[in-house]
Amino acid sequence: MKAVATLGRARWKNVVNYVITQVGKKLTNATISRDLKNLVKMGFIEKEGNEYKIADPLVRYAILKSISNRDSNKIGKTR
């Protein structure tokens, strides 16, 4: 969900690249496809054509805010 929230609208390949960057290793295509399908089934994300997006703008905002807060905490700890 972080990948889709961060990118706004994301194609499958964008999600794969984001996950590789964040995790540091490549997950299997089957794993990413399964996870995206489950998030769609649960209503957290929507698929429109070839793109995924967060279904609820408030959920996207909360995810982005938590990422921002986490990054701010990391910066504060390095000083």
Domains of the chain, residue spans: 2-78
Task: Return the CATH fold of 2-78.
Answer: Arc Repressor Mutant, subunit A (1.10.10)
Lowest mean pLDDT among 16-25, 58-67, 70-79: 70-79
3-state DSSP helix/strand/coil % of the chain, to nearest 5: 65, 15, 20
Q: Is the pTM above the cut of 0.85?
A: no
Q: Look at residue 5 in the predicted model and tell me its pLDDT.
A: 95
CB atoms within 10 A of CB 4: 24
Q: What is the pLDDT of residues 9-59, one digit of tens each?
A: 999 999 999 999 998 988 899 999 999 999 999 999 999 999 999 999 999
Indicate left, alpha or beta for 24 from its phi (over 0: left) and psi (-120 to 50: alpha). left
